[in-house]
Amino acid sequence: MAAINFKRKEIQLKIVYYGPGRGGKTTCLEYIKNRLHGQAYSDMIKLKSPENRTLFFDFYPMRVGKVKGFDIRVQLYSVPGQNRLQPLRKLVLKGVDSIVFVADALSLRRKHNIDSFKNLIENLGYHNKELFSMPFIIQLNKVDLAQENIPVISADTLMADFSEGLEGANLIEKVPVYETSAVSGANILKTLESIIMLTVKRLNFNAISKRSLSR
C-alpha cells in the first residue's frame, strides 16, 4: 500500500527490482540515477560485499509529478541475488507497491531466473501479497550479448519457463516484457516509465481524497 502523507499532500510509491544475482539490477538503477539525477531528492545508497556485489539494496527516490493534487514520489529498491541473503530479500519486499523482475538473458542463467521467480512469489506470500495482484513488469536483460555470439534466451522461452507449473499460468501472458541492456540503457527508462504509470493507475484516488477530507 502506498504511503500517504496528507499534511504534505504526498504519495510515496515503492518499486522493487527483483531477480537473480548478476542479472543487472544494480546496473539498471545506476543507469537510472545517471540519467535522471536532476529529479532525485536523495542520493543512492549502496551496500556491497567485499566481492563488490550488492548486499542489501540500492535506493534511489525521485519525483514524478503531481496527480490529483498529490505529489508522487518513487523509491526504487533492488534486492540481493545471493541465496544466503534470502532474509534480506524478504525484508526489502515489505510494503512494496510494484515489481520489476530483471531476468538474465544468458542461456546458462536460465535456471537462476526460474528459481528467483519462484522465490519472489514465495517471499511476497510471506507479506500476504500475490504477484499478479500488483503492477508487474519483466525485463529480459543482457539481450545485446547476442551480438557477440553469446547464447541468450528469447522472451518467449522466458515466459514459458515462468508459466510452467505456475498456478494461474495464463496470468503471466498478460505481463509486459521489455528486452533491455542495463549497460547501454536500451529500454531501461521505458520500463521504469511503464511501471510507474501502472502503479499510479492502480491508486484509488477517490478513496484517498475522501480520507484527505475527513482529516
Provide the residue range defining the domain that includes 155: 3-204
In a domain, 190, yes or no: yes
Q: Strand pairing partners for 16?
A: 77, 99
Q: What is the pLDDT of residue 43?
A: 73
Per the document, the length of the chain is 215
In a domain, 78, yes or no: yes
Q: What angle do CA 198, 200, 202 make, to 5 degrees?
A: 70
CATH of the domain at 39: 3.40.50.300
8-35: b or e for each residue (b if 16 or more CB lie within 10 Å)? eeebbbbbbbbbbbbbbbbbbbbbbbee
Count of domains observed in the chain: 1
pTM of the predicted protein model: 0.91
Q: What is the pLDDT of residue 159?
A: 96
In a domain, 130, yes or no: yes
In a domain, 62, yes or no: yes
Task: Locate 105 and state its grid cell.
Answer: 538473458
Rounded to whole angstroms, the Cα distance separating 19 from 80 reads 8
Confirm if 33 and 44 have CB atoms less than 8 A apart: yes
In a domain, 210, yes or no: no
| 60 φψ region: left (φ > 0), alpha (ψ -120 to 50), beta (else) | beta
- Exposed, middle or buried, 200 (CB in 10 Å: 0-12/13-18/19+)? buried
Confirm if 162 and 121 have CB atoms less than 8 A apart: no
Q: Report, as ranges of residue numbers, the positions in the chain whose pLDDT lies below 70.
A: 1, 41-42, 49-60, 205-215
Q: What is the pLDDT of residue 116?
A: 96
70 Cβ contact list (under 8 Å, min separation 6) = 4, 9, 10, 11, 205, 208
Rounded to whole angstroms, the Cα distance separating 68 from 71 reads 8
Confirm if 137 and 99 have CB atoms less than 8 A apart: yes
Q: What is the pLDDT of residue 171?
A: 86
In a domain, 209, yes or no: no
In a domain, 211, yes or no: no
In a domain, 26, yes or no: yes
**What is the longest distance spanned by two Cα atoms in the chain?**
61
